[in-house]
Structure 1
């Protein structure tokens, strides 16, 4: 598959990393030679030093034969215009990153499609969705809904109160059990567990279950004492913060702390001020936090453009007794540090946006895919095709690559967990967890 990425910035380089693992034919276009040089040593791709707005550059990059053209520069006009040109030159599918939420209105989809832009990506909206999902379940670090919630994957940090520590998984995850543990992150290591593996304190365990068993999972991991989130403090009044407070359910109240007075005025014009209070101040100011009721707040969300500020603010909030903290960490280099400090949920817009685009390059019928940055792994929903390899044998007989596990499947809209003796049928939507595996190797089982 030939993929052209315009923009060697954060999203483009992260996307190149994901795609290069799958031996794709990747071309990266950027007008800054230094940015291109920073990428070429790490990934298997070709670079073109030119502006994505140049028709000549697009032709030289082979856009006419491209299966997917992706515009992810910081300039939304360049992204959209280059997608229009790429489509006219023969690219099969185009996607553009935009900074204006108005472009995401459903009625505009056909309009953009007619001019040559097949899909739009608004990273702030994707990040806001993840943030609100995290707030709805204060005891969960990561949540991923499969097929509209028929199955749910929960990433949970295990503490002393967990009831299932140090027991072999073969005794915990039986065929009749209401959950499967599909992966474990232990320190820097990601484990696709086997029957003799055990869970240890401070592991990040990924559970696959159905919605009705979420309370049971909460009990066995010892998180029943975590209070539900009703009051939220948000530090930073950028677009991600605006989208997040607009998505919050009715029962949540939010305060936005923004140190730019002019931005505070703009925020007041954009949001429902009956539900959200905007405060002009610095979220690292401890007396201010106390004055604004941080001790009666169940969640603190740090969304400034500075990773260090967000990490420090979350640590401060934890010291003041806030149980749930979420930090936006845009610098990939800081993600591991943030994890080691145990600050809570980490949001990285570039990784979220790249994951969203990533699924477009998969050949088989893939409904959804997600790169879990914390676990350095992929989770994908594959649809089993008639006559495909997965429908001919039971799961334990399939010979799936090492580092792969099937977490569950959705059949006729209903979620089911999968064991070794399960039989996958044509039309089933199957959730596959992959660590250090070329996704094309998994696709072959479903085509």
Structure 2
């Protein structure tokens, strides 16, 4: 597809890289020349210096032949205006990043009236992910499928666990829980395991289960699932605001430490149930005085990666809290890989995955399209497909399907009933089907068969 990305900040650069890898023709647009030059020198894409709200610039970028325009500048209003002009200039699909919390209650109206294909709020999506992980402390990643009826949960197998040495085929029977192990990460290696695959301590394993069965599994496996009661957030960012609003509905004691006094006053009005502290969290006495040692969860989500890393390392040393660390620079991956930073939060990747999912749906000609897409890691994707009338695998038992290598059918949602499939189960028209694969670029359910 021909895709125009307006805004070459961290989100725009991440999108350009991810969508370029998918084989799309990309044009980036930004008012500043430096980010345009940086991206075009790194990637094989075209760049234009100018405003994405300029009709002339959009024409130069090829808007008349574009399939998709993505507006991810730092201004919500500019993003919306850019999409509006693009819709007037062509028949392309449009996606706008809209971050401001004040637009949340109006987003459906805005999307419909402006004929937007999609709006994305990275901070809200990140906060929702953090909320899920706080509610199930044993998991390091949780991704919902089938509109939340089933989840993909990633966790580490601790030392001396009863899972150590257990074969994948024995998990459900021995623990009396209905689930499916779909990915195992062992050091640098990633496996989509067969039934005879043997688990080991320190493996990182991803399972598919309903929320109820997941909690039951963690209990039976002897993996700590104590409820989180005390949460400390460093940085009064938009993510912190969204997360605090979500957590205020639970019986959680929430403390936010923010250096800017004006922002503290805003948060105090918005979040009456949270304790807002005006202080510099890098002062170790502040964290100790505010009870870091008693926290169950700690989130360093300031706008500075280096500060977040230092704060999380300090929290790891002085508490048993579940750690969240916001890091937006992808170039830090190799440096931080072995650091005890807990769960890495990257809103840019959340945005890229959502828009990539939308792009794949647009490409699909058969109606068996991608409904949900998540990256489990750099090598593995989990996708949920709708089974349209042109699906070639309808009615055939899974054990008889000729699946491509490294593909596992993990779940079937049949009108709200969740099926963790065996070889005897089959797919029907109208089902949504969850698959895990190391094969990149799947756009259609038919792509999983030979």
TM-score by length of 1: 0.90
SS at match of 1:390: coil
Query: 1:307, 1:334 within 8 Å by CA — same for their partners in 2?
Result: no
Question: Deviations for 1:124-163, whole angstroms, at most 9, x for unmatched residues?
Answer: 1111111111111111101112123221110101211421
**Unpaired stretches in structure 1, ≥5 consecutive residues:** none
- Map of 1:322 onto structure 2: 320
Change (3 A) 1:219 1:104: same
Query: In the aligned structure 2, how far is the partner of 1:436 from the partner of 1:54?
Result: 39
Could you tell me how far 1:315 is from its partner in structure 2? Answer: 1.9
Change (3 A) 1:49 1:262: closer
Query: In the aligned structure 2, how far is the partner of 1:174 from the partner of 1:41?
Result: 54
1:384 to 382, 387, 407: 387
- Map of 1:394 onto structure 2: 397
Query: In the aligned structure 2, how far is the partner of 1:61 from the partner of 1:174?
Result: 58
Could you tell me how far 1:194 is from its partner in structure 2? Answer: 2.5
Whether 2:217 is the aligned partner of 1:213: answer no
Query: In the aligned structure 2, how far is the partner of 1:435 from the partner of 1:44?
Result: 24
SS at match of 2:162: coil
SS at match of 1:308: helix
Query: 2:298, 2:324 within 8 Å by CA — same for their partners in 1?
Result: yes
- Map of 1:18 onto structure 2: 18
Query: In the aligned structure 1, how far is the partner of 2:97 from the partner of 2:49?
Result: 20
Query: 2:145, 2:151 within 8 Å by CA — same for their partners in 1?
Result: yes
Query: In the aligned structure 2, how far is the partner of 1:26 from the partner of 1:420?
Result: 42
Query: 1:158, 1:221 within 8 Å by CA — same for their partners in 2?
Result: no
Query: In the aligned structure 1, how far is the partner of 2:113 from the partner of 2:444?
Result: 35
Change (3 A) 1:403 1:283: farther
- Map of 1:6 onto structure 2: 6
Could you tell me how far 1:181 is from its partner in structure 2? Answer: 1.2
Query: In the aligned structure 2, how far is the partner of 1:8 from the partner of 1:406?
Result: 37
Whether 2:150 is the aligned partner of 1:146: answer no
2:371 to 367, 381, 384: 367
- Map of 1:165 onto structure 2: 164
- Map of 2:119 onto structure 1: 120
Q: CA-atom RMSD, angstroms?
A: 2.5
Query: 1:395, 1:421 within 8 Å by CA — same for their partners in 2?
Result: yes
- Map of 2:426 onto structure 1: 423
- Describe how 1:31-70 pairs up with structure 2 within 5 A: 31-40=31-40, 43-70=43-70
Could you tell me how far 1:111 is from its partner in structure 2? Answer: 4.1
Query: In the aligned structure 2, how far is the partner of 1:135 from the partner of 1:42?
Result: 37
Query: In the aligned structure 2, how far is the partner of 1:110 from the partner of 1:260?
Result: 33
Query: 1:404, 1:437 within 8 Å by CA — same for their partners in 2?
Result: no
Question: Deviations for 1:307-359, whole angstroms, at most 9, x for unmatched residues?
Answer: 12212212211222223111111111224444422321111010111112222
Query: In the aligned structure 2, how far is the partner of 1:41 from the partner of 1:441?
Result: 33
Aligned residues, how many?
441
SS at match of 1:257: strand
Query: 1:409, 1:431 within 8 Å by CA — same for their partners in 2?
Result: yes
Query: 1:161, 1:222 within 8 Å by CA — same for their partners in 2?
Result: no
Pick which of 403-412 and 45-54 moved more: 45-54
Query: In the aligned structure 2, how far is the partner of 1:281 from the partner of 1:127?
Result: 24
Pick which of 115-124 and 73-82 moved more: 115-124
- Describe how 1:14-413 pairs up with structure 2 within 5 A: 14-40=14-40, 43-106=43-106, 108-172=107-171, 178-224=178-224, 226-248=225-247, 249-272=249-272, 275-361=273-359, 362=361, 363=364, 364-372=368-376, 374-413=377-416
Query: In the aligned structure 1, how far is the partner of 2:437 from the partner of 2:39?
Result: 25
Query: 1:185, 1:375 within 8 Å by CA — same for their partners in 2?
Result: no
Query: 2:184, 2:193 within 8 Å by CA — same for their partners in 1?
Result: yes
SS at match of 1:431: strand
Query: 1:227, 1:298 within 8 Å by CA — same for their partners in 2?
Result: no
SS at match of 1:439: coil
Could you tell me how far 1:445 is from its partner in structure 2? Answer: 5.1
Query: In the aligned structure 2, how far is the partner of 1:94 from the partner of 1:379?
Result: 25
**Unpaired stretches in structure 2, ≥5 consecutive residues:** none
Change (3 A) 1:296 1:391: same
Query: In the aligned structure 1, how far is the partner of 2:404 from the partner of 2:122?
Result: 32
Query: In the aligned structure 1, how far is the partner of 2:312 from the partner of 2:298?
Result: 7
Query: In the aligned structure 1, how far is the partner of 2:356 from the partner of 2:199?
Result: 31
Could you tell me how far 1:198 is from its partner in structure 2? Answer: 2.5
Query: In the aligned structure 2, how far is the partner of 1:415 from the partner of 1:150?
Result: 7
Question: Which is bigger in relative contact order (C-alpha 8 A, separation at least 6)?
Answer: 1
Pick which of 21-30 and 139-148 moved more: 21-30
